[in-house]
């Protein structure tokens, strides 16, 4: 990339944004778009300082702190779980009191990590104490234990969906809603299958969009992509927000989305950031064909030795691709300590049910060998999935 390349410290967003602004004096910059959680604050600050479309940096920061997010959502009456915030270094009494104030079962999570890392469901006080200690170790491993806080949340039963959208001057356009057919009930919350279009009724999806829009408004987000996680009450179908992020869906999952204009999700996001033909973005809808992705789970922590059966998985009708992103011979970590996947499997079909079936059948063809333990001590042999 020559002099177009710029190395940034995304854990220092003000410093990184200043470097982008300085770089713009040598090469004109038309848009700044973050592709993951670590870059969203830097992108917002740089866009502000360059006079480019952006959400306020303080709003974007709120998406990176689950406690602040909960507080802002509560202030605007957005439907969500009951919660309490506890210092990570608080004693057993504070943990027990926080849990009691909500009522079991509860979910305990760090306020600063992303994905499913450090998120644990507990059903009693003893489990809450053990989970808090485990999360503290995870925070220490990530180098963010000092001053950290934990979020204690009411466990919300019911189906979970993911929302992809774009904000334009504070108005949300929902681009796609993904069903998550595997139940996310704990004790850990590793995500697997995403399928779109959603099989939920139009009235439920309208409620999902309304809650996502209300959450964006409560945080002050106004421009660019958003990705939200929403739980549906099993009795009423009422949508309650889990989280919202100022970015697109993570990993390679966006590969399954196609739009009427022929553009990918990334192209739509870039078109919006560049101010190109707002009507084209607004009129683009997900294609009618069903599609899905499976984030290939890590059964346990260890050294990945091999993945077999990819050819057999690709032979399953409907499966369109398998990408193993983890490196053979390198450590892999299961949740809640880990925040990565072995890779991704993609499928398309005539219906969401057909896509889900293809992904499950394709996954059953894989054999994954992980030597247990990061030091590759005990071997588990081959794991048929």
CATH number of the domain to which 300 belongs: 3.30.470.20
- Average pLDDT along the chain: 92
CA 276 – CA 274 distance, rounded (Å): 6
Q: Are residues 56 and 89 in the same domain?
A: no
Question: Is residue 71 domain-resident?
Answer: no
Which residue, of 107, 129, 154, is where some domain finishes?
154
Q: Could you read off the pLDDT of 87-142 as tens digits, one per residue?
A: 999 999 999 999 999 999 999 999 988 878 999 999 999 999 999 999 999 999 98
Q: Are residues 305 and 375 in the same domain?
A: yes
Q: Are residues 296 and 384 in the same domain?
A: yes
Question: Is residue 16 domain-resident?
Answer: yes
Question: Is residue 351 domain-resident?
Answer: yes
Q: How many domains does the chain have?
A: 3
Question: Is residue 256 domain-resident?
Answer: no
Question: Is residue 98 domain-resident?
Answer: yes
Q: Are residues 311 and 364 in the same domain?
A: yes
Which residue, of 105, 136, 154, is where some domain finishes?
154
Q: Is the pLDDT of residue 280 over 80?
A: no
pTM: 0.91
DSSP 8-state symbol, 118: T
Instruction: Considering only residues 130 and 384, tell me which one the structure prediction assigns the higher pLDDT.
Output: 130
Residues 286, 175: contact at Cβ < 8 Å? yes
Q: Could you read off the pLDDT of 25-66 as tens digits, one per residue?
A: 999 999 999 988 999 999 999 999 999 999 999 999 999 999
Question: Is residue 359 domain-resident?
Answer: yes
CA 382 – CA 367 distance, rounded (Å): 6
Q: Determine if the peptide bond prior to 126 is cis (ω within 30°).
A: no
From residue 223, alpha-carbon distances to 43, 50, 86, 87, 121 in Å are 12, 15, 32, 32, 34
| Residue numbers of the domain that contains 107 | 82-154
- How high is the pLDDT of residue 307? 97
Q: Are residues 311 and 341 in the same domain?
A: yes
CB contact burial 54-91 (16+ within 10 A = b; e otherwise): bbbbebbbbbbebbbbbebbeeeebbbbebbbbebeee
Residues 14, 22: contact at Cβ < 8 Å? no
Question: Is residue 238 domain-resident?
Answer: no
CA 295 – CA 342 distance, rounded (Å): 7
From residue 228, alpha-carbon distances to 121, 200, 274 in Å are 20, 16, 23
Q: Are residues 347 and 383 in the same domain?
A: yes
Q: Are residues 96 and 42 in the same domain?
A: no
Q: Which residue has the tokens 């909960």?
A: 70
Q: Are residues 11 and 87 in the same domain?
A: no
Q: Are residues 310 and 385 in the same domain?
A: yes
Q: Are residues 303 and 358 in the same domain?
A: yes
What contacts 295, CB < 8 A, 6 or more positions away?
Answer: 190, 191, 192, 193, 194, 251, 253, 341, 344
Q: How confident is the model at residue 381 (pLDDT cuts 50, 70, 90)?
A: very low
CA 377 – CA 264 distance, rounded (Å): 44
Q: Could you read off the pLDDT of 130-173 as tens digits, one per residue?
A: 999 999 999 999 899 988 999 999 999 999 999 999 999 999 99
- How high is the pLDDT of residue 302? 95
Question: Is residue 262 domain-resident?
Answer: no
Give the domain CATH number at 118: 3.30.1490.20
Which residue, of 134, 154, 174, is where some domain finishes?
154
CA 362 – CA 322 distance, rounded (Å): 9
């Amino acid at each position: 990339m020559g002099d177009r390349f710029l190395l940034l410290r995304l854990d220092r967003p003000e410093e990184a944004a200043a470097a982008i602004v300085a770089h713009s004096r040598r090469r004109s910059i038309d848009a700044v778009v973050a592709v993951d959680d670590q870059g969203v604050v830097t992108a917002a600050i740089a866009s502000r300082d360059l006079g480019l479309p952006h959400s306020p940096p303080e709003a974007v920061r709120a998406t990176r702190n689950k406690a602040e997010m909960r507080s802002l959502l509560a202030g605007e009456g957005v439907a969500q779980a009951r919660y309490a915030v506890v210092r990570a270094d608080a004693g057993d009494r504070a943990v027990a009191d926080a849990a009691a104030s909500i009522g079991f079962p509860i979910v305990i999570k760090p306020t600063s990590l992303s994905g499913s890392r450090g998120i644990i469901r507990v059903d009693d006080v003893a489990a809450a104490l053990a989970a808090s200690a485990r999360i503290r170790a995870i925070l220490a491993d990530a180098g963010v234990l000092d001053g950290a806080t934990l979020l204690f949340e009411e466990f919300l039963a019911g189906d979970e969906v993911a929302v992809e959208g774009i904000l334009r001057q504070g108005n949300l356009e929902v681009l796609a809603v993904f069903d998550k057919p595997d139940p996310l009930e704990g004790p850990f919350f590793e995500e697997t299958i995403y399928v779109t279009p959603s099989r939920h009724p139009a009235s439920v999806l309208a409620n999902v969009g309304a809650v996502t829009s209300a959450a964006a408004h409560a945080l002050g987000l106004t421009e660019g992509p958003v990705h939200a996680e929403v739980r549906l009450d099993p009795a009423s179908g009422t949508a309650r927000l889990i989280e919202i992020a100022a970015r697109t869906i993570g990993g390679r999952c966006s590969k399954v989305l196609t739009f009427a204009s022929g553009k990918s999700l990334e192209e739509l996001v870039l078109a919006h950031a560049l101010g190109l033909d707002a009507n084209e973005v607004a009129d683009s809808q997900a294609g009618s064909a069903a599609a899905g992705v499976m984030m290939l789970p890590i059964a346990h922590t260890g050294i990945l030795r091999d993945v077999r059966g990819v050819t057999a998985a690709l032979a399953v009708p409907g499966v369109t691709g398998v990408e193993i992103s983890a490196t053979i011979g390198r450590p892999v970590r299961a949740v809640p300590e880990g925040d990565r996947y072995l890779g991704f499997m993609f499928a398309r079909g005539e219906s969401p049910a057909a896509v889900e079936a293809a992904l499950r059948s394709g996954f059953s063809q894989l054999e994954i060998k992980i030597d247990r333990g990061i030091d590759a001590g005990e071997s588990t042999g081959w794991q048929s999935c």
